[in-house]
Every structure is written in C-alpha cells, then in structure tokens.
C-alpha cells in the first residue's frame, strides 16, 4: 500500500510539472497567433523558407520514438528487460536523429542569412523578422527539451540495465516517458505552425 501511495504522489508531481511546461509553450503559441494576425503574409513567406522535408522527417522520428518509449514501459511491466533496453536505445537514437536534423536545418538557415539580427532579416519586413525570432525561440526551446528528455531516458535505461527499474519500481521510466510524450506533443503543434503555415 505504501508503494502505491508513493507512486501516485510521484505521478501527480510529474503531471503538475508537465502542466507548467504546457503553459510555457501555450504562451508562446498565443504570441505566435497574435503576430500571425498582424503579419499573415510575412509568416507565410517565412514558412516557405523552411524545409518541409526536415520538418516532416522530424515529426515522424518523434512519433515513432514516442511509440517505442511507451512500448519500453510495457516491456518492463511484463518483465521483458532486454526488449525494454532495445526499445529505449532506439528511442535515444531517434532523439539524436532529431537533433542532427535540426542542426543541419539551422545551419542551412544561418548560411542563407536567416537568423535574428542578420543583415538580410534587418532589411526585410518586420513580420519576417518576428517569424524567424519566434522560430528560433520555440524550436530552440523545444530542442533543449529534447536533450533533457534524452538525458531522462538514458538514466532510465541505465536503471533498467541495473535492475533499479522493474515492474514493481517503474516510476522513473514512467515519468521519463511522460516527459518524452510532452516533447512529442509540443512538436505536433510546432510543425504545422511553422512548416505548414498558409
């Protein structure tokens, strides 16, 4: 009974933390909506500068990784340790793939002068400057969350290997999985706002 109470408390604490993260990104999305209302044409022009192939690939990578993280939790719950280890390793590989894609995407934008306070953007319309300011702020913040999520998954992986995460003690992996699902959920909003803006 004591363990059940502890697990419930840990889960509630995690949900409260995730709620604060949702509020943070919701505020940024509202800011995006306000500026989009004033500069719709500039936002569309900015969206056309982004690579939809990179955006789509990263969306698929995160969706797949969200599934494999959930599957790893199920595997641990069913006592399939090796299966869970493989799934977590694959999830970490997906996270790394996302970051590598984002590195090349940002690099291409910097190469073409599409970054805050660049000469090109300073000579452009105000809405285009705001669009890329929001793009780097939101995707950069999301990238930091991806890194944090990968750290949590890596710690969970080590704990699974060392039998510190088991079917009876799964809170660390469970909460890491919830955080990773949040990372995925946020990107589901980021992708259409920036890459599919019409």
Q: Which one, of 185, 174, 184, lies nearest residue 70 by Cα? A: 174
Q: What's the pLDDT at 4?
A: 47
Residue 145 CB contacts under 8 Å (≥ 6 apart), including other chains: 21, 182, 183, 186
What mean pLDDT do residues 43-59 have? Answer: 95
Q: What's the pLDDT at 81?
A: 97
31-43 residue pLDDT tens: 999 999 999 999 9
Boundaries of every domain in the chain: 2-195
Whether 150 has a pLDDT exceeding 50, the answer reads yes
CATH topology of domain 2-195: 1.20.120
95-114 residue pLDDT tens: 999 999 999 999 999 999 99
Q: What's the pLDDT at 99?
A: 97
Whether 155 has a pLDDT exceeding 70, the answer reads yes
Q: How confident is the model at residue 47 (pLDDT cuts 50, 70, 90)?
A: very high
What's the predicted TM-score (pTM) here? 0.93
Q: How many residues does the chain have?
A: 198
Q: Give the mean pLDDT of the chain.
A: 94
Instruction: Tell me the percentage of the chain whose pLDDT exceeds 70.
Output: 97
What mean pLDDT do residues 16-26 have? Answer: 96
């Amino acid at each position: 009974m004591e363990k059940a109470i502890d697990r419930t408390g840990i889960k509630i604490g995690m949900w409260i933390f995730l709620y604060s993260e949702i509020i943070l990104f919701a505020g940024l999305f509202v800011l995006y909506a306000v500026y989009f209302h004033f500069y719709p044409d500039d936002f569309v022009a900015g969206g056309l500068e982004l690579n939809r192939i990179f955006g789509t690939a990263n969306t698929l990578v995160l969706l797949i990784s969200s599934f494999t993280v959930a599957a790893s939790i199920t595997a641990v719950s069913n006592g399939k340790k090796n299966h869970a280890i493989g799934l977590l390793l694959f999830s970490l590989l997906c996270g790394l793939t996302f970051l590598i894609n984002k590195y090349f995407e940002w690099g291409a934008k910097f190469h073409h002068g599409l970054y805050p306070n660049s000469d090109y953007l300073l000579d452009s319309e105000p809405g285009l400057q705001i669009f890329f300011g929001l793009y780097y702020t939101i995707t950069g913040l999301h990238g930091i969350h991806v890194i944090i999520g990968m750290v949590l998954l890596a710690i969970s992986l080590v704990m699974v290997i060392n039998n510190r995460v088991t079917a009876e003690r799964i809170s660390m992996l469970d909460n890491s999985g919830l955080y990773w699902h949040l990372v995925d959920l946020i990107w589901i909003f980021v992708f259409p706002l920036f890459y599919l803006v019409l």
